[in-house]
Amino acid sequence: MNVSKGSGTFRALTALDCLELYQAGTISPVEVVRDCLNRINAVNADLNAFCHIDADGALTAARQSEERWHKGQPIGVLDGVPATIKDLTLTRGMPTRRGSAATSAAGPWDQDAPLTARMREAGAIILGKTTTPEFGWKGATDSPLTGITRNPWNPKLTPGGSSGGAAVAAALNLGFLHQGSDGGGSIRIPASFTGIFGFKPTFGYVPQWPLSAMGMLSHIGPMTRTVDDALLMMDVITRPDTRDGYGGVTYKADGSGEAESLQGIRIGYSRNLGYADVAPDILRVTDAAVGQLRSLGADVVEIDPGFANPVEVFATFWFAGAAHLIARMSEAQKDLLDPGFLECAIRGEGITLSEFKDAEQARFDLSAKMGDFHESFDLLVTPTVAVAPFPVGMDKPDGFSGWVDWTPFTFPFNLTQQPAASLPAGLDDGGLPVGLQLVGPRYRDTKVLGAARVIEKRLGRLTPPAVQMTS
C-alpha cells in the first residue's frame, strides 16, 4: 500500500489499512484527515459531493485521536478513521437540511441520529455531510438547495441517487466510510453508477431515528471502496439504540465474510426479473460476472423469482410518504420544493386508505414470494441498474416515464426488506461502471456480504480513470 507522506498520498488506503498503520505508528489520524480535506477541497467545487465540510471539527477530533493512539488507548474500533454522513441523517454540530430549501438552517443541530452516534462512539471522524436530492426522493442527486452532484467517471453524468454525494466521496476515497440510505435503491443505484460497494441491510438491523417519511422502505447502510470496510462499518452501525421503534433482531457477524469461494452457494440469476428492459451492454457485463461466480464454485441457475412488476405498490408507499412530508408545510415552503418532488407529494395526497391497505397486502405477498424463492436459492443475482449513468439535470433517462422504470431491480427489495448489495461487475460499452446486485433472505446479511467479498476478489475494484490508485 502507498503510505508516503504528502497531499493525496493516502488516497489508496482503506479503513482497515488506516487502523493497522495507526497501530504501527506509521501514520497519524491528523495526517490522514488533513490529506482527505485537501483532496475534498480540490474536487468539491466541481463534483459537489459535500454540502457541508467540518474541517475544524475534523482536525480537532483527529488530534484527539492521535493522542489516544500515542498512548495505546484507542476509543473504539474506528478511532481516527475519516467518515461522512448523508444530509438526511442528523449530525450534531452540522446542519441537516435534507437537500431542501424548504427547511431552515437555524438548527439547533444538537442531536446525533443513532448511526452518527455509533460512528462517533467508535472513534470515527466525521468530515462533513454528503449531498442528496430533496428528501432523497429520486435516483439522481441534485436539488434546489445544493445544486448538481456529478459523477467522477464523467462530470457530465449523474452519479445516481439519492446517496450520490456519498458515492462520489467513496469513489474518490474522500474519507473511507460513508453512510447512505436506501428507500428504493438510493445506496445501490449510485454504487453501480460510480463503481463502489454499497449495501442495504435487512430493515431494522441499523437503528433509525427519526423515522423516515418513507417508513419501512428506508434502510441505512455503508458505502465503501471495499467489502471489508463495509463489514467493519456494519459491526458498528448495527449496535442498538433505544429510540428506534422497529429494532428487535440483532445483527451478528457469523464468519461467512472469511469464505474464499462460493462452493455450495445456490444462486438464482435473473437477467430482467421477467419484466425489465435492460441495456444490452449491461447484460453483457453481468452475464460475464455471473460466469465468474460459476468458476468460484457457485451453483447458478438462470431463473426469474416469479413476481410481477410491483411498481404501483412501491409508488403507493413512496407518494404517500412524500405527501406526509409536505402536509405541514406552508405555501411559501412548497414554492421552494423541487417540482418533481412536489408532483409526487400531490399524487400521494389522493391515495385512499383502502389503496394504502391494498399495497400493504401486496407487499406482504411479495415478501412471501421471495421467502419461497430463498427456500431454493441462497442468493438472487441481477444487474443493479438497467441503464448507464445519464446526463446531470435529469430525473430519469430519455425514454422512461418515471424514475423507478429505469431502476427496476432495486425497489422490489425495499418492499421485502431484504439485504441487497451492489458491487462493481465491470465497464459498459461507454467505459462506465456496471453494478452486480446480490439479494439475500432477510436476516442473512452476512451471507450477502460474504459472497460479495469473494466476488470482489475475483472481479476487482473500479476507480475513476483520472485518479487511478495504487494499493
Q: Catalytic residue positions?
A: 86, 162, 186
Name the nearest CA neighbour of 275 among 405, 415, 98: 405
Grid cell locating 21 = 498503520
Name the nearest CA neighbour of 147 among 223, 54, 53, 49: 49
Strand pairing class (125-130; 82-86): parallel
Q: Is-contact 135 325, C-beta < 8 A?
A: yes
Rg (CA), the chain: 21
Region of 379 on the Ramachandran plot (φ > 0 left; ψ -120 to 50 alpha; else beta): beta
Amino acid at 229: D
Strand pairing class (420-427; 82-86): unpaired
Distance (Å, whole) CA 176 – CA 171: 10
Q: Is-contact 430 420, C-beta < 8 A?
A: no
Grid cell locating 152 = 467522477
Residue 368, CA distances (Å) to 106, 280, 304, 378, 441 in order? 45, 31, 15, 15, 11
